[in-house]
Amino acid sequence: MGNTTVRLDSHAAATLRYIRSSMEGAVVLAVPGSAGIVLGTIGLLAAALCFAPGLRKYWLGIWLGAALIGAVVGSILIVRESSLRDLRLAGTPLLKFALCLSPSLGAGLVMTAVHWFAGNLHAIPGTWRGDDGTSRSWPGAGPVTGDSGHWSVSRSM
């Protein structure tokens, strides 16, 4: 029979690695309530611009510009909130957030391109509205909960 004993220090090191990886996987990304307010305001401003008679034909560019501005401002607010709460963004939390957001963004991009090249510009807004639940169908996506002015996107992959 071979030697089946396990050294205590190697077992302890393996256990510590497991505990550290479990704790890292349980981290949530805090999205401040102020980000929701700012992004909602950007959306309302984009909608108001689209209703202006001289700007109606530029509605797609207005909404894409609002999406870009919203992504930049939202990212800044998330980074600011994380630094104020001394949370680490790099690694697992950011990766999980990106993986859960990617299906919606990818589907929206593909469906927008299909409607654009087919000349169905009137169908694009409805397509975007129907696409916002795609990320909730991603495997391992957990609930989105809000409390005390913060939204926590918890993912257990």
- Convert the pLDDT of each residue in 59-91 to its tens digit: 889 988 999 999 899 888 888 877 776 666 666
Q: Which residue has the tokens 């030697």?
A: 3
Q: What is the end-to-end Cα distance of the chain in Å, rounded?
A: 40
CA Rg value for the chain: 22
- Convert the pLDDT of each residue in 47-59 to its tens digit: 999 889 899 889 8
The answer to whether residue 113 scores a pLDDT higher than 60 is yes
- How many other C-beta atoms lie within 10 A of the C-beta of residue 2? 4
The whole-angstrom separation of Cα 50 and Cα 47 is 5
- Convert the pLDDT of each residue in 7-17 to its tens digit: 767 778 888 88
Provide the pLDDT for residue 140: 44
Q: Does the predicted model carry a pTM greater than 0.85?
A: no
